[in-house]
């Protein structure tokens, strides 16, 4: 097993762990952390591809993904705080409608 294959397998495992964590949690902040793990798994795969192919564009795309992760954390945490304002222990399943 080469180091590249090891990183590949790790990336797949991280994505699966994040997906499982997203479903098992009812806490909005914990769900967001699971989403961050999934984003990191995808980013690891992008960086590995940049290394294997020797292409620098993919590495720049990985940097842009980092910024995207920051933006989604900001919006998600804002929503989580709004949920916690209504209830001390909110259940994300109860929030089922959007209102403008």
Partner 1 sequence: MQSQFVPVLVGCAVALLSALGVVLARRPIYAAMALLVHSLSLAALFGILSAAMVAVGQVIIYSGAIVVLFLFVVTLLPTGGRELAPNTNRVGAACVAGGGMLVALAAALASGALPPTAAVFDLGVAAVGHSLFGPLVVAFELTAPLLLVAIVGAVVIWRRHEPRSTTTPRVLEATPRRLVMHR
Q: Which one among 74, 95, 97, 98 touches partner 1, defined by CB under 8 A? A: 74
At closest approach, how far in Å is the CB of 31 from partner 1?
10
Under rule CB under 8 A, residue 54 binds partner 1? yes
Under rule CB under 8 A, residue 70 binds partner 1? yes
Under rule CB under 8 A, residue 2 binds partner 1? yes
For residues 2 and 44, give the distance between their C-alpha atoms in angstroms, rounded to a whole number. Answer: 16
DSSP 54: T
Under rule CB under 8 A, residue 57 binds partner 1? yes
28 exposure class (CB count in 10 Å sphere: 0-12, 13-18, 19+): buried
């Amino acid at each position: 097993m080469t180091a590249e294959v090891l990183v590949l397998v790790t990336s797949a495992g991280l994505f699966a762990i994040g997906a499982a964590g997203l479903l098992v949690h009812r806490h909005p902040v914990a769900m967001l952390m699971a989403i961050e793990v999934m984003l990191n798994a995808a980013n690891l795969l992008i960086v590995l591809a940049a290394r294997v192919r020797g292409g620098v564009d993919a590495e720049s795309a990985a940097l842009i993904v980092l910024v995207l992760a920051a933006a989604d954390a900001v919006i998600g945490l804002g929503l989580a705080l709004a949920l916690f304002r209504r209830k001390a222990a909110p259940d994300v399943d109860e929030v089922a409608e959007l209102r403008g």
